[in-house]
A and B are shown apart, each in its own frame.
Chain A
Amino acid sequence: MTMTVTPPTATPADPPAVTSDGRVVGRRNHRVLLHVGLVAGLILMIGPFVFMALGSFKTTGELRQVPPTFLPEDPTVANYRDLFDRLDFPRYFFNSTVVALAVTAGNLLFCSMLGYALAKLEFAGKRVVFVLVLATLMVPAIVTFMPLFVLISNMGLANTHAGLILPFVVGALGVFLMRQFIGGIPDELLDAARIDGAGEYTIFFKIVLPLCGPALATLAILTFLGSWNSFLWPLVVASTEDMYTLPVALSLFSIGQQETNVALQMAGALVVVLPVVILFFAMQRFITQGIATTGIK
């Protein structure tokens, strides 16, 4: 089993074939077709969001109209004003960010360490650890909810950032993902470093982690999002409003037992999604360039 790490390419791969004249024509058709398909897909995927974004500028009355309108008849920013007036946004934003960053950092470090150990090191109990961790991925979250909460509150961590962070600072998904990726790094590379006298920690931080760029970026995005959007745990752990995260605060807008304010919900959803969209847009470079920029041949 040999291994080549992708040579640094400025732009991602060109499509397979390119020589004869006939091929060029085929390629142009191919390109048009591809873009038509992608644009159609994109419309299907983001159409609902456009609708949501437009909806956030409508009044509740207009949203209730049948048939629904597409463009706001009488655009209003009242929903956003309401949102920011009624909620202490900077506070919730701060809480969500702190929690999501801490959870992400913990997952990146701990999961890649264990992933490395599982993929490239030999130690007693290795398989047991992997099977155990993988197994927890399969236990529905709802079932551990109550014991976990009793544990956290007995540790005195209810209504603290630590209580929001600690239970999620390690995750089975991350271990699985990192183990799969690190497993693909050639042993020759690591063995060479070992011969040069590098310790396992040096190898891990200097060689393995840099090679894991795309995997780490993927894991970071997934973990950050999971934490950012999580609702039930922060709802239960954060017992006063100053510890609420964004999703919890926004769910205050279900007006009563019987009604919800859809317009506010749409505006709220947009406000929650926006930071994540920006983050994703900024991060996706790393997913694609991680390996390319390592410069290893």
Chain B
Amino acid sequence: MTAIIATESIAATPTAPPRRSRPSRKQNLVGWSFALPFFAMFVVFMAGPIVVSLITSLTDLRSTDIRSPFGVNFVGFDNYVDVFSDPKFRKAAVNTAIFVVVGVPLTMSLGLLAAVALNQGIVKFRRVFRLGFYLPVVTSIVAIAVVWRFLLGADSGLVNGLLDQVGIDGPAWLTDTKYALPSLIVMAAWKNLGFSMIVFLAALQSIPVDLYEAAAVDGAKSWQPFRYITLPLLRPTILFVSVITTIGYVQFFEEPLVMTQGGPLDATLSVTYHAYNQFSFGNYGYTAAVSYVMFVAIALVSFILFRLLRPNT
């Protein structure tokens, strides 16, 4: 019946179905006049540095070479070989995979839940709720870390203090290898669900009310309107949010940096953190190689998401 935010996958279907023929000269001119301002900036400030760094990944560039960056050796794929044979990288890759596979669905479902709840017409003080749920997104990670360390501390933390009240001896959330990563996943979901929420809200706002009214007339019960109206119509938005969240989460870094420094025993070391460490050690070639390995991983996952969430036809 209605599609609000129609979308298409990058894979196949062109956007505007009727105009499939080769664009005319005038169309090219008009199209590029819209694209060029962005594209020019893009080439200089994004693509350029990316190309340079891609080349870097094929060299043995180190921080001590940066005053004579041409005096480095071209080492082919040695850095990539090093990446895959590095046990720290493998450990980091596993941690990151767990973080993404658990964290993305968790964050998105909490964000969607909040958005759907807030989209009910009956909610009072809607703006206060919306602001509250979004607050963690806007707050600097440093301040968040200070507070969360108070929450999760093993000996003086609030959470263990509360558990203590009911007779449970809480674990060392951040310094036990079993609990550190799950703790950070929860913290990341808490911090980021506001992003999913506001994007979902914007999309929910544009679903016409009469659809639900029609469904009610047809006798739809409890979760049926959500399942058969909301979810399908949110599909493009879910695609957008899942791609953005996944890209963000694959690069997960700030939480372990401020909370655990990757410990204990590398239990919270992420790929980006590993890359960051190597960057501080001055191993730029290696850092770039790790980054492009991640890039390929992100691209693959995004491709899969685009496939999975492609609109039904």
| Interfacial residues, chain A to chain B (CB-CB below 8 A) | 1-7, 9, 11-19, 27, 30-31, 34-35, 37-38, 41-42, 44-46, 48-49, 51-52, 55, 66-68, 106, 109-111, 113-114, 116-124, 126-127, 129-144, 146-148, 151, 166-167, 169-170, 172-173, 175-177, 180-181, 183-184, 187, 200, 204, 214-215, 217-218, 221-222, 225, 229, 231, 247, 251, 262, 265-266, 268-270, 272-273, 276-277, 280-281, 284, 287-288, 290-292
Contact = CB atoms under 8 A, between A and B. Distances in A.
B3 A184 contact: yes
B49 A204 contact: no
Given A31-B122, A136-B47, A180-B237, A12 B143 contact: no
Given A4-B208, A41-B114, A106-B41, 20 more contacts: A4-B2, A6-B207, A15-B120, A38-B123, A45-B194, A48-B144, A122-B19, A123-B27, A124-B28, A137-B244, A138-B295, A143-B53, A170-B38, A183-B6, A183-B7, A183-B15, A200-B30, A214-B205, A266-B143, A280-B134
Given A37-B117, A130-B10, A140 B143 contact: no
B94 interface: no
B30 A121 contact: yes
A218 B205 CA distance: 13
Contact of A3 (B2, B42, B118): B2
Contact of B140 (A55, A217, A273): A273
B108 interface: no
B104 interface: no
B147 interface: yes
Interface string B30-41: 111011011101
A38 B131 contact: no
Interface in B110-136: 114, 117-124, 127-136
Interface of B: 1-8, 10, 14-16, 18-19, 23, 27-28, 30-32, 34-35, 37-39, 41-42, 44-50, 52-53, 56, 66, 114, 117-124, 127-140, 142-144, 146-148, 150-151, 155-156, 158, 161, 190, 194-195, 198-199, 201-202, 205-210, 212-213, 215-216, 220, 225, 236-237, 239-240, 243-244, 247, 251, 272, 275-276, 279, 284, 287-288, 291-292, 294-295, 298-299, 302
B10 A16 contact: no
A171 B14 CA distance: 23
Contacts of A147: 48-49, 52-53, 56
A253 B268 CA distance: 27
Given A17-B216, A123-B27, A139-B50, A3 B41 contact: no
B131 A281 contact: yes
Contact of A42 (B52, B121, B129, B202): B129
A147 B144 CA distance: 31
